[in-house]
Amino acid sequence: MKITDLKCAIFGQNPVVRIVTDQGISGYGEVEASKPYLKPHVLYYKQYILGEDPTDVERVMLKIRKLGSFKPWGSAVSAIEMALWDLAGKAAGLPVYKLLGGKVRDQVRVYNGAVRFPLADSSPQAHAENMAKMKESPERFSIIKQGIAFHGQMHSQVPNFMYGEVRSGSPYASRSLLTEQGLKHVVACVEAMKKVLGDEVGLALDCGPGWTVPDAIRLAKAVEPLNVMWLEDMLTGDYTPYVQADLYREVTRSTTTPIHTGEQIYLRQNFQELIEKRAVSIVGPDPCDVGGIAELKWVAEYADLHGVLMAPHGTGNGLLGLAALVQVAAAMPQNYIAFEYPMGRPEWWYDIVEGLPDPIVKNSFIQVWDRPGMGIELNEKAARKYLREEDGDFFD
């Protein structure tokens, strides 16, 4: 089997990759909805993979893996990798989890991710009301994550929140020491949410990036009695092209509250210091940024050797990304907690993808399916009407 073409089309806002072969089998991968601009980056790699056997996934990846970088510039490589695994599974007649070593679990836990209700404002009451709605969502999530401080509008909406200026124009531009009022406000919001969730549902907090080390330590110690699941991306994180493991280690060693990061990191090598120094309690690579699902599993296994837990990112990865996360999560070691649940947007995505269970999530779990490849397919007839004019040959 040989690769004869690499195509990329934008469905809604999600770039979708299709690898075409001389035996009529295609593999699909998907990039986050926030990255429609990545289409030319995907197509750049075509020159390197044409003529290769797609079932030799690692051999193909050795040609392109070194050409990516931290979020968002590893996404094109990641989507190609997932499409290769989809192809390899279809060619073998096996679900991808079998090719990754086989199932460790029959169902995978997820947390809310893309299932969110808008906050009325940044007050503790609004956060409590939001958690009440989340707690009653039909998926019955056992873990709910909420953005606070710099991950959202709190830092710009709450008066006298921080000493620095509120900056805009790029993702997570603000970074500052919090005022005493600002820190107390964050803690009050966490207390209000936890009061609603009690000990029935775990509360995870997406915090930044944007915190300073002293404030990160203060917050982590202040919420210790609340037993939150984790504090995520406090110092670095989303759209930050570096790691700063030593700073994270200082925070982690100061508290019993679990510290989490990693969604922006590309490749296993850039997790090495975080894991070997036990600089965080939990890592959260995104398969659409880290280099794909085999890369994600490698990080999970190395983390497990060092007593570090795994909770993968994935909120914007769409339905093809969801299928990839289900396959790799089924094969992860026992340090796996849950992955961040992505959804199809716009809603018509559910009309063009076949093979998903209905409902997808029951009591916070997804049952692992056993169909070949990633186990879901694009319905060509249904999907064609959502193709942009310039992508009209995507299925040809």
* Residues β-bridged to residue 366: 108
- Let me know if residue 396 belongs to a domain: no
What pLDDT score was predicted for residue 55? 98
Same domain assignment for residues 51 and 190: no
State pTM to two decimals: 0.97
pLDDT per residue over 49-72, tens digit each?
Answer: 999 999 999 999 999 999 999 999
What pLDDT score was predicted for residue 284? 98
- Let me know if residue 171 belongs to a domain: yes
Taking alpha carbons only, the member of 26, 2, 4 closest to residue 16 is 26
Q: Report whether 33 contacts 11 (CB < 8 A).
A: no
| Helix spans in the chain (H) | 39-44, 46-49, 57-64, 75-92, 96-99, 124-135, 154-157, 180-197, 213-222, 245-253, 272-276, 287-290, 293-305, 318-330, 349-352, 380-384
Same domain assignment for residues 200 and 322: yes
- Let me know if residue 26 belongs to a domain: yes
- Let me know if residue 370 belongs to a domain: yes
Same domain assignment for residues 70 and 117: no
Q: Report whether 344 contacts 318 (CB < 8 A).
A: yes
| Spatial distance between the Cα atoms of 160 and 182, rounded to a whole number of angstroms | 7
How many separate domains does the chain show?
A: 2
Same domain assignment for residues 20 and 107: no
* Residues β-bridged to residue 165: none
Same domain assignment for residues 119 and 7: no
Same domain assignment for residues 191 and 304: yes
| HSE, side-chain direction, 13 A CA sphere, residue 118 | 2
Same domain assignment for residues 83 and 126: no
Same domain assignment for residues 58 and 110: no
Please give the helix or strand (H or E) that residue 22 lies within, else none. none
Which CATH number is 27's domain given?
3.30.390.10
Same domain assignment for residues 211 and 291: yes
- Let me know if residue 186 belongs to a domain: yes
Same domain assignment for residues 89 and 138: no
Q: Report whether 149 contacts 205 (CB < 8 A).
A: no
Please give the residue range of the domain that contains residue 291.
98-374
Q: Report whether 303 contacts 314 (CB < 8 A).
A: no
Residues of the chain with pLDDT below 70 are: none
What pLDDT score was predicted for residue 101? 97
Provide CB contacts within 8 A for 115, sequence distance 6+: 134, 137, 139, 141, 341, 343
Taking alpha carbons only, the member of 147, 94, 142 closest to residue 366 is 142
